[in-house]
Structure formats: structure tokens, C-alpha cells
Amino acid sequence: MMLQILDDGRLTDSLGRTVDFTNTLIIMTSNIGGGIVVGGGVNSDRTKELVEEEMKHYFRPEFLNRVDETIVFKQLTKAEVKEIATIMLRDVAARAREMGIELQVTERFKERVVEEGFDESYGARPLRRAIVRLLEDTLADKVLSGEIKQGDSVIVDADLEGNVVFVLGQSSSVAAALVT
């Protein structure tokens, strides 16, 4: 299927319908060579060569010959993952706002999310799972049980042991540490 798209610029399904890919930019991502990038200590040209060698172990030549460009990204830092977490948490707060719930998280909670969701090898991918597990699942349970309802204001914090705490209303001790 990919060879048809990359070669002919079109794809035909089992019903004979054709989709035109001639003016399409296809971006594919992979963690192949991630160990090389994490290891560091190599200049960027050499890193790219090593990653492309690693790709040859996973992909057939007929596929690799149709790939126009390989871009090797540097490893994400914890600070960069924290920025990504801020954006993702804002999205969750916006969705909660649509349901009539004002949701805010503390800096300590954000640190807890980053701690669980940061992996040097996998970058920000585990971050989404951490936000779902630490925030979204519990929030959904509390909404379904009626503990949190439309019109409520909720502050999500983490205690000193890292346990997630949901506080209804505005607590002055927690409000000072809020992140928006």
C-alpha cells in the first residue's frame, strides 16, 4: 500500500476508488535509531548516517528508496516536555470549561505529570498516557459520580508523596501555586 502511494501518488481501495496523493506531503515518524541519538557524542552528520544504517535493518530497500528525506531530531529535554505538558493540560482545562467546569492545575501537579510522562527514549509519547491516567480518568469518574458538576471550580494538585489531589473551590494555600 505505501509503495503504491509513494510510487504512483495514488491509492486504490478494494472497491476501485482512487485517492490522489500527488500533492501530498507524507511525514512518517519512528524511534528507530533512538539509542544512537540518546547516546549522543556524535556530530549531526554522523548521527544521521548511523540512524540511516539502523533503518536498513528494519525497512526493505524498495521502501527506503522512495523516502526523499530523513530528519533526525534531537532528544527532548525535561524542560521541553514540561512545555508540551503545559499545552496539553491547557487543552484538558479548555475541554472541562466546555462542560462548565473550571479546572486549574498546580505547578506541583504539572511536575508530577512530567515525572511520570518523560522518557528519554520515547520523548513525549508517555506524557499523553500520564495526563489521561493522573487527571482525565479521575476527573471523568468524579463527574460521573456527581462529585464534580457543572459550575464547579476544581484545583488539581499533588501532595508531597506525589498523590494526585482534587480540591473543589478556591483554596488560598493551593491558589498561590496555580498554573494556567
Start-end ranges of CATH 1.10.8.60 in the chain?
A: 78-179
**Helices and strands of the chain, counted as H and E runs:** 9, 6
Residues 87, 120: Cα–Cα separation, whole Å: 20
The three cell numbers of residue 80 are 521541553
Distance linking the first and last C-alpha atoms of the chain: 44
What is the spatial distance between Cα 132 and Cα 147, in angstroms, rounded to a whole number? 19
For the range 58-66, what are the long-range contacts, defined as Cβ-Cβ under 8 Å and sequence gap of 24 or more?
A: 58/30, 58/32, 62/3, 63/2, 63/3, 63/6, 66/3, 66/6, 66/7
Q: Which residues of the chain have pLDDT under 50?
A: 171-180
Query: CATH number of the domain at 78-179, out of 3.40.50.300, 1.10.8.60, 3.30.70.580, 3.30.70.100?
Result: 1.10.8.60
pLDDT at 173 (0 to 100): 44
Q: What is the pLDDT of residues 103-154, one digit of tens each?
A: 999 999 999 999 999 987 777 789 999 999 999 999 999 999 999 999 999 9
DSSP state of 135: I
The pLDDT assigned to 46 comes to 84
